Structure 1
Amino acid sequence: MKTHRRARGRRIARALAAIIVPLVASGAAIAMAATPSSQLAASGSAGQKPRNETARGTIVKLKVHAVKNLLAGSNDRVHGSLSTRQPGRSVVVETRQGGSWQNVAQVRTGRKGRFSAEWQPGQVGRYAVRAHLADGTAQGKPKGKVTAYRESSVSYYGPGFYGSRTACGETLSQNTLGVANKTLPCGTKVALYYQGRKVTVPVIDRGPYAAGREYDLTAATRDRLGAPSTGTIWSAPL
């Protein structure tokens, strides 16, 4: 009797399995069909970083260097290099002095993408300098300022005048930075350069009145430059 019951139970279990298994399989198929392909791909590559299929473009950088202090009329050397180290690329050098950019030189890069060009500042003053590839794919940032000077005969003044008012309304002291000039308007900035040292100061007084001298330096200005009491320095009204 017990054997008969066990056989009957096995037949019922097989019959139920024949019904349930197809139902489960069909449900899984429906769920797979409803799942977005992006989720399927993600689940199939768990633990792996997605590949970046976009190729990154090469960024071309241009480094530029220039002589910062020179006499007007002399040659200024501008040099630099391409980050891609490509030879044969056309480089345009431009300068600006208060107005628009002007093309002053054009050269080609040589070995390792290096270039060197020369230009000549024709006027006294301060210039911005930059370079860029002729095809526009790279441009170097302006590298500071280039100052073109002229030679000027100078002397200095101060002792005996401290505490007095200058022609431009300043009270002169041992620490006053400035120059005296016969014609430049009061407050005009003047760049001064002497043996590697430089300072920019305003016109604060009138003078000098000795023949052939262009500026009188205050004692503080002379000391800042390390200039002699009388002599020749470089100057550039700005």
Structure 2
Amino acid sequence: MKGAMIAGACAILPVLAMDGTAEAQRAQAPVYVQQGVASWYGPGFHGRRTASGERFNQHDLTAAHKKLPLGTRVVVTNLRNGKSVEVEINDRGPYVRGRILDLSRAAAEQIDMKKSGVTPVRLEINEDNWRLSDRDS
């Protein structure tokens, strides 16, 4: 009888271990990925109201995206140099064809794209950084 109980417990252990590992992998894997061209904006918009209602501060790590929920935290990676920055989506845009994101001046500086003005990027959002906003419903 003891042998059967031990065998049964051993049969469950791999399933529990695999489930825990799979859960950990899901938690680390991004739930949203997008690649495209980013630009940056700053001085001309500094102090103006953003789509979220707050005042734009070019020195904060923020960004504008056309559709992502306001308040969502996004990791942006410059595909030319591999540098990354985490920003909060607090505005709408960019309104230039072919671009997917407008970064604040500070965020552009963090990933060394300020001088070039535009760069190819990868956006990643993890599940715990995804925010649903009442304003976007």
Which TM-score tier does this pair reach, normalised by the shorter chain? Answer: 0.5 to 0.7
Match of 1:232 among 102, 114, 120: 120
Q: If the length of structure 1 is used for normalisation, what is the TM-score?
A: 0.39
CA spacing shift, 1:222–1:147, aligned 2, 3 Å? farther
Q: Which of 1 and 2 has higher RCO (CA within 8 Å, sep 6+)?
A: 2
Q: Which structure has the larger Rg over C-alpha atoms?
A: 1
Distance 1:150 1:185, change over 3 A: closer
- The match for 2:97 among 189, 197, 211 is 211
- The number of equivalent residue pairs is 102
**Aligned structure 1 segments of 4 or more residues deviating by more than 3 angstroms:** 92-95, 146-150
1:152 pairs, out of 26, 32, 36, with: 36
| Structure 2 spans left out of the alignment, 5+ residues | 1-17, 127-137
Taking only aligned residues, the RMSD between alpha carbons, in angstroms, comes to: 2.3
**What amino acid does structure 2 have at the position aligned with 1:154?**
A
Determine the C-alpha separation between the residues in 2 that align with 1:188 and 1:147.
12
* Contact 2:32 2:125 (C-alpha < 8 Å) held by counterparts: no
2:82 is the counterpart of 1:196: yes
- Counterparts of 1:170-181 in structure 2, within 5 Å, are 170-181=54-65
Instruction: Report the Cα distance in structure 1 between the residues aligned to 2:58 and 2:25, rounded to whole angstroms.
Output: 37
Which runs of no fewer than 5 residues in structure 1 stay unpaired?
A: 1-91, 99-125, 128-145
Spell out the pairing of 1:1-238 with structure 2 (5 A cutoff).
94=22, 96-98=25-27, 126-127=28-29, 149-194=33-78, 195-227=81-113, 228-238=116-126
Cα deviation 1:102-138 (Å, max 9, x = unaligned): xxxxxxxxxxxxxxxxxxxxxxxx42xxxxxxxxxxx
- Relative to its length, the structure with more strand (as a share) is 1
> What percentage of residue pairs aligned between the two structures are identical?
33
Alpha-carbon distance, 1:178 to partner: 0.8
Q: Return the alpha-carbon distance in structure 2 between the equivalents of residues 206 and 190 of structure 1.
A: 14
> Which letter does structure 1 place at the counterpart of 2:100?
E
* TM norm structure 2: 0.64
